[in-house]
Amino acid sequence: MSGLVFDRVSVRYGHGRRGLTAVDGASLTVPSGQVVGLVGESGSGKSTLAKSAVGLAPVRGGRVLLDGTDVTRLRGRHRPLQMIFQDPYASLDPRMTVGDSIAEAIPRAALRGRTARRAEVERLLEQVGLDAGRASLLPGRLSGGQRQRVGLARALAGRPGAVIADEITSALDVSVQGTVLNLFREVQRRLGLTTLFITHNLAVVRYVSDHIAVMHLGRIVESGPTKEVLADPQHPYTRELLAAVPRRSATPEDVGRVEEDVREPADPHHPPDGCRYHPHCPVGPSVRDDRELCRTRDPGTEAASRAHRAACHFVTAPSTAGLEAGAPGNAS
């Protein structure tokens, strides 16, 4: 199978009762050459899922396949899956020149000899729009946007089959964010990079992704083509996320109209049974008596049969219903 495939991946930290299952059987496919945006709130497990693929988090179950090979069991130096980190200030060694940082990621077998490697570093720097002369600088002399370009160049240096971009613009100022997003899109399209793009910002994910996957408490609750998921979200959690995005047209009155939900977010150490969203769900069992099913049965098992693979027992019928969740769309 081509592309990057997460197959029922589980990540668990710690042991016994105090353990935390950060990712619970998440399945996700990034088709070759495409960008899948993974959204979710902090603690939803989206960054942990990414880390599991590059060996920075302990995989307890499932597989991560890249073009058919399980990358979590790879031994040796070559890493076909590369990652761009969130904080460009922390992800570059302050004592190592930019050129050395990039050169380090070039596979040994690919290029031998000092001059060949140096030429490759220059080529990579130019690819991300940086002057080749910057190779000799320490990261302290670069701005946040430039550092993030270096981060991209380092990821490309590994000649990856796929790239994971973990919140790559959230540490940047808005005026710089646009530059990095444009560059990323341009490079991604030129090289046809298979990319998992992680962010909490729906506007950003909409801008760069072909597909969107929504994560909640360690599970993928909805996924599908960007346009369709944003226009016709199936899972109530996706709808809640979308509604919370501040809009340009919003006024103080609009903010005032938000319906109130003051319950504490679910404790990831003790996730609720059944559908993990049910205590907060505006169309779930705490609101409607006829939906006790949500308390006991995990809707994820039949997700594949529903529109957008939505993990919800009560999704509206595929492609018929609109945004009105509360409306009794189901035949009953």
Partner 1 sequence: MSVRDSRWAAVVRTPVGLCAAVLLLVVVVVAVLAPLLWGERASVVDTGAVQQGPSAAHLLGTDTLGRDIFYRVLVATRLSVLLAVTATVIGVLLGLLLGTAPAVLPRRAGRLVTSAVHTAVAFPGLLLALFFAVIFGVGTTGAVLAIGLATAPSFARLTQTLSASVAGKDFVAAARVAGVGRIRMLVRHILPNIAEPLAVNATIGAGTALLAFAGLSFLGLGVQAPDYDWGRLLGEGLNRISLTPAPALAPCLAVVVTGLAFNLFGEAAAAALGVRPLSPRRTEARGLSTQRPGTVVEPDGAESVLAVRNLRVSFPGRDAPVTPVRGVSLTVRPGEAVGVVGESGSGKSLTALAAARLVEPPGEVTADRLEFAGTELLRASDRELGPLLGGRLAMVFQDPMTSFNPVLSVGRQLAEVAEQHRGMSRGAALAAAVDRLREVRVPAPERRAGQYPHEFSGGMRQRAMIGMGLMGGPRLIVADEPTTALDVTVQRRVLRLLADVRAAEGTALLLISHDVTVVAGTCDRILVMYAGRIVEELPAAELFAAARHPYTRALLAAVPDLDTDRARPLPVIPGRPPEPDRLPEGCAFAPRCPRAEDRCRGEDPDLVTDSAGHRLACWNPAPTPVAATSGGAS
Between 203 and 287, whose beta carbon lies closer to partner 1?
Answer: 203
The gap from C-alpha 62 to its chain's centroid, in whole angstroms, comes to: 18
Between 34 and 306, whose beta carbon lies closer to partner 1?
Answer: 34
Interface region with partner 1, contact rule CB under 8 A, candidates 6-14, 15-23, 115-123, 170-178: 170-178
If binding is defined by CB under 8 A, does position 85 make contact with partner 1?
yes
The residues near 6 (Cβ < 8 Å, ≥ 6 apart) are 26, 27, 28, 29, 49, 53, 62, 64
If binding is defined by CB under 8 A, does position 250 make contact with partner 1?
yes
Of these, 113, 258, 304, 305, which contacts partner 1 (CB under 8 A)? Answer: 258
The site that binds partner 1 (CB under 8 A) totals a number of residues, namely: 73
If binding is defined by CB under 8 A, does position 72 make contact with partner 1?
no
Letter string b/e over residues 222-245, b meaning 16 or more CB atoms within 10 A of that residue's CB: bbbebeebbebbbbbbbbbbbeee
Strand pairing class (59-66; 35-39): unpaired
Site string for partner 1, 123-152 (x = CB under 8 A): ---------------x-x--x-x-----x-
Name the minimum Å distance from CB 179 to partner 1: 5
If binding is defined by CB under 8 A, does position 91 make contact with partner 1?
yes
Residue with tokens 């089959």: 161
If binding is defined by CB under 8 A, does position 41 make contact with partner 1?
yes
As a whole number of angstroms, the distance between CA 327 and CA 316 comes to: 9
Of these, 131, 133, 225, 261, which contacts partner 1 (CB under 8 A)? Answer: 261
As a whole number of angstroms, the distance between CA 100 and CA 96 comes to: 6
DSSP state of 264: P
The gap from C-alpha 288 to its chain's centroid, in whole angstroms, comes to: 32
Q: Say if residues 34 and 197 touch (Cβ distance below 8 Å).
A: no
Site string for partner 1, 192-221 (x = CB under 8 A): --------x-xxx-xx--------------
Name the minimum Å distance from CB 87 to partner 1: 6
Structure tokens at 304: 């594949």
Of these, 114, 262, 304, 332, which contacts partner 1 (CB under 8 A)? Answer: 262
If binding is defined by CB under 8 A, does position 121 make contact with partner 1?
no
Between 21 and 199, whose beta carbon lies closer to partner 1?
Answer: 199
Q: Is 3 left (phi over 0), alpha (psi -120 to 50) or beta?
A: left
Strand pairing class (219-225; 211-216): antiparallel
Q: Say if residues 276 and 284 touch (Cβ distance below 8 Å).
A: no
If binding is defined by CB under 8 A, does position 240 make contact with partner 1?
yes
Residues in 173-192 that interact with partner 1 by CB under 8 A: 173-179, 181-182, 185-186
Of these, 37, 158, 161, 284, which contacts partner 1 (CB under 8 A)? Answer: 158
Of these, 115, 251, 305, 320, which contacts partner 1 (CB under 8 A)? Answer: 251
